[in-house]
């Protein structure tokens, strides 16, 4: 079991090669949470996540003979990038096994950092089976993504920094996948200031730590798909679970919509790009799942920012729809010249912006003398949408929900 001494030693070892990430006040989110809130921005590490810390600490512990043999790891992306980058920097050959549906940005970056990449299975657990085969058959050193004492100690350096950066800290909220991050942070904090609460947040689709805590033993799960791919693991670690049980005050789970909304909030309000796992702690805070009040000083660990831009676009669009700032209206009009011009003029008078227009005749449930015009609008919010609809209906248009 890693100790506070191990974490301090890791801090000294990796200090010159990782980013001492800032803690910034989340002032733009203050209306959504009851406490003072700060963001620990691990997305600013060289490879875009906290994984730089644990990976580097593990690699620096290899013997010269082990370095020559090369290493193998299984990862859905962030650990792979960290091992690839620091392995190349230290001259260590790296082979990475990834699940087949790993986000493209993480695959591309891992290759760009110089590692060999192969795909195996649908989950991280499947990829680990192949990694262990390579360990045995090719003689490589296996560097586990989270269930390794030196990796845990490296991640724990975040806890040391938080206590230094926030003397008034009363709670820290951390994403949980395999448990390496929260285990290291919890040791570093609880062994120095036991009164600081440590909370873990999982994706509901992959909540092994929560299920294991309830059962009193490790419970493997059939992991569902989640946009928080960085914490989508089938089971919490053998080494990390006892540490979580000893040091972590509570664990909660957030659903996909809550995670997506948190990604959107961080990007739009705080100008922080976070992947799903990195946004999960904010999702729990906004949903009021944790016992936090106005007296608390809370830090959330934004664990990473490696997210596909296509996914970001979809999250933004859904967030705008949820806020009512994008609306899709189906307006029934007489199929006569000039009706579209009249309709768009009214929308313009209402202050909404028309993004797209489509006519439906054959497939709309309307009279053969009518046409359904589907309008994709940009608005100021739900009240504005209601005002647009009211104006159109006052002028004789029938407005329904587009399907």
Q: What is the pLDDT, as a whole number, of residue 224?
A: 67
pLDDT score recorded for residue 310: 86
CA atoms within 13 A on the CB side of 316: 13
* pLDDT at residue 103, as a whole number: 78
Active site residues: 51, 303
Q: What residues does CATH 3.30.70.260 cover in the chain?
A: 324-401
3-state secondary structure 78-108: HHHHHHHHHHHHHCCCEEEEECCCCCHHHHH
Rounded Cα distance between 377 and 357, Å, is 9
**Domain over 51-142 is classified CATH 3.30.1060.10:** no
**What counts of helices (H) and strands (E) characterise the chain?**
15, 14
The pLDDT score that the predictor gives to residue 361 is 59
Start-end of H helices in 15-103: 51-59, 64-69, 78-90
pLDDT tens digit sequence for 126-143: 888 999 999 999 999 999
Would you state the CATH architecture of domain 4-49+148-318? 3-Layer(aba) Sandwich (3.40)
Per-residue pLDDT tens, the chain, 403 aa: give them: 899 999 999 999 999 999 999 999 999 999 999 999 999 999 999 999 999 999 999 999 999 999 999 999 998 789 999 999 999 999 999 999 998 888 787 888 899 999 999 999 887 778 889 999 999 999 999 999 999 999 999 999 999 999 999 999 999 999 999 999 999 999 999 999 999 999 999 999 999 999 999 999 999 987 667 899 889 888 999 999 999 999 999 999 999 999 999 999 999 999 999 999 999 999 999 999 999 999 999 999 999 999 988 888 888 888 888 888 888 898 888 878 888 888 889 988 999 998 988 877 555 555 557 788 888 899 998 899 889 889 999 988 888 766 5
Per DSSP, which regions of 243-369 are E strands? 250-254, 297-302, 326-334, 353-360
Q: Which residues contact 168 (CB under 8 A, 6 or more apart)?
A: 297
Tell me which DSSP letter residue 192 carries.
T
How many angstroms separate the CA atoms of 259 and 255, rounded? Answer: 6
CATH fold of 324-401, please? Alpha-Beta Plaits (3.30.70)
Predicted pLDDT of residue 353: 92
Look up the pTM and report it: 0.88
Start-end of CATH 3.40.50.1100 domains in the chain: 4-49+148-318, 51-142
Question: Distances in Å between the alpha carbon of 333 and those of 114, 337, 343, 373?
Answer: 60, 11, 9, 7
Task: State pLDDT tens for residues 166-180.
Answer: 999 999 999 999 999
């Amino acid at each position: 079991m890693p100790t506070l001494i191990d974490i301090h030693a890791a801090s000294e070892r990796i200090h010159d090669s990782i980013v001492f990430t800032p803690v910034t006040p989340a002032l733009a989110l203050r209306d959504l949470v009851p406490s003072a809130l700060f963001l620990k921005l691990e997305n600013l590490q060289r490879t875009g996540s906290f994984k730089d810390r644990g990976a580097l600490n593990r690699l620096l512990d290899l013997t010269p003979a082990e370095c020559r043999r090369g290493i193998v790891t299984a990862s859905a992306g962030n650990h792979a990038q960290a091992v690839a980058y620091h392995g190349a920097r230290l001259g260590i050959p790296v082979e990475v096994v990834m699940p087949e549906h790993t986000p493209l940005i993480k695959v591309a970056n891992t290759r760009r950092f110089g590692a060999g990449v192969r795909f195996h299975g649908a989950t991280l657990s499947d990829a680990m089976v192949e990694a262990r085969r390579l360990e045995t058959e090719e003689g490589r050193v296996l560097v586990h993504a989270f269930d390794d004492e030196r990796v845990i100690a490296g991640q724990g350096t975040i806890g040391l920094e938080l206590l230094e950066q926030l003397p008034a800290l009363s709670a820290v909220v951390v994403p949980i996948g395999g448990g390496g991050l929260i285990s290291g942070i919890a040791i570093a904090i609880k062994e120095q200031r036991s009164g600081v609460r440590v909370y873990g947040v999982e994706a509901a689709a992959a909540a092994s730590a929560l299920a294991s805590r309830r059962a009193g033993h490790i419970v493997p799960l059939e992991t569902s798909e989640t946009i928080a791919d960085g914490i989508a693991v089938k089971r919490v670690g053998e080494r990390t679970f006892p540490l979580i049980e000893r040091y972590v005050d509570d664990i909660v789970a957030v659903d996909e919509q809550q995670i997506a909304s948190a990604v959107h909030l961080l990007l739009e309000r705080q100008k922080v790009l976070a992947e799903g796992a990195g946004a999960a702690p904010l999702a729990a805070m906004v949903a009021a799942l944790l016992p936090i009040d106005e007296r608390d000083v809370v830090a959330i660990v934004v664990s990473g920012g490696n997210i596909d831009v296509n996914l970001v676009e979809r999250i933004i669009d859904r967030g705008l729809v949820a806020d009512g700032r994008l609306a899709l209206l189906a307006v029934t009009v007489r199929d006569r010249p000039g009706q579209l011009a009249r309709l768009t003029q009214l929308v313009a008078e209402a202050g909404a912006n028309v993004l797209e227009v489509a006519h439906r005749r054959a497939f709309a449930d309307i009279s053969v003398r009518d046409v359904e015009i589907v309008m994709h609008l940009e608005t100021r919010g739900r009240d504005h949408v209601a005002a647009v609809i009211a104006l159109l209906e006052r002028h004789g248009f029938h407005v329904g929900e587009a399907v």
